[in-house]
Structure 1
């Protein structure tokens, strides 16, 4: 990521577009994070943009990292599942180690679950299957990471799919990837989205596993830190 361009955040034009300032010029950049991120996207903060050479894109840059309270926060939420997959393949997620198959985006019901894991039997048929849904977390309050930062019906439906899979005897996991280095534990955002939070607690009670890890972010790389963090589901 050494090709990153330093800029100043000025305004969020809409859900997907940010206005940033580069050398005194206002430029529109793609915002690859659909969360509200109000505590991050503040006029005047330093951001780092990733340029694109795709001539068909409407914007030349994507907002990749943002400075917040002395830390670099990863804004590319769509890359969260790739970060987790790379970490699984490199043996950094001990709870998800030992699988023969590590794949992405498998459709279950009306949802696509981010990561599919399985072992193979003697006939090369998949067994011991596991489904992992990844959620990128950037909201930090008093050192505690919280999700979501905006109500998410889609996220709640993912949890319902995981509950259904678990009831069928299939391993199901929701993986919260904290992409703000100042987050040291996790809780659901009961105040912002009580429906998601209640469903998460029910999912855990039904046997859906919860894993919490965070990333270490530099201008050169974003990678998962190799130890899981604690979580508290209480309201």
Structure 2
């Protein structure tokens, strides 16, 4: 899919480092050329079940001298730090909207939504702000990271997965999406992966699964669509791999939490 094959290009190439420790939700300690810096972690929730010890990463550097952290961790790799051609997993859940906007406006998502030039960001709907209004279609972007659907190699340390409780925002947004269909033609929940993911899998069952499943089923019955998009991130750019509709897959009870 797509017609232009035009990547999202970073203003400055990303820098490679090695995460020594995730100190808290917001800070990762990263070794850059033998100096350890406190770097901003843009995904405040759980990122898979990996232990952040000697994990390669890609970082962007800010020009804002007032920031407490000069660097932001944009992507991680589950390859060894010594490997030359690493596979990267993007973790910046804020930046993904910039990627989606770029590929909308360059006409590369026309099989999902037309009128890519008519894109408005952060549109208020009810008590929520949804990510995009494209023509007459509301589009909400989610970047699931609680379970990484990639091979976990033997050298990667893992931890026991805790119960997942951060579902309220998802329920609120998907419900507002469904409500938008009273006045708009279409509403799309877009699951974005900044790595190659063949098909989204339902997260492990948790104590709120039945409730969230009921909400998803109700919203699908009201007409929302669920799509998936896969990006590839490199130090220089983000490329579109593919995108496809997955609504039918979720009719069996899948959820799309991030």
Alignment TM class, shorter chain as reference: 0.7 to 0.9
Structure 2 distance, partners of 1:6, 1:229, is: 34
For residue 208 of structure 1, the aligned residue among 211, 224, 227 is 224
Report Cα offsets for 1:30-51 as digits up to 9, x if no partner. 1111230043552111111111
Structure 1 distance, partners of 2:148, 2:117, is: 35
Q: Does 1:101 align with 2:118?
A: yes
TM-score by length of 2: 0.76
For residue 115 of structure 1, the aligned residue among 90, 110, 132 is 132
Change (3 A) 1:141 1:65: closer
Structure 2 stretches lacking a partner, 5+ long: 1-9, 80-85, 152-163, 254-258
Conserved 8 A contact 2:18-2:56: yes
RMSD of aligned alpha carbons? 2.4
Conserved 8 A contact 2:226-2:246: no
Structure 1 stretches lacking a partner, 5+ long: 119-128, 144-148
Conserved 8 A contact 2:22-2:52: no
Conserved 8 A contact 1:6-1:48: yes
For residue 101 of structure 2, the aligned residue among 64, 75, 85 is 85
CA deviation after TM superposition for structure 1 residue 17, in Å:
1.3
Change (3 A) 1:99 1:90: closer
CA deviation after TM superposition for structure 1 residue 105, in Å:
0.4
Secondary structure at 1:155's aligned position in 2? helix
TM-score by length of 1: 0.82
Structure 2 distance, partners of 1:26, 1:142, is: 28
1:126 corresponding residue in structure 2: none
CA deviation after TM superposition for structure 1 residue 230, in Å:
4.3
Secondary structure at 2:96's aligned position in 1? helix
1:75 corresponding residue in structure 2: 91
For residue 136 of structure 1, the aligned residue among 143, 151, 159 is 143
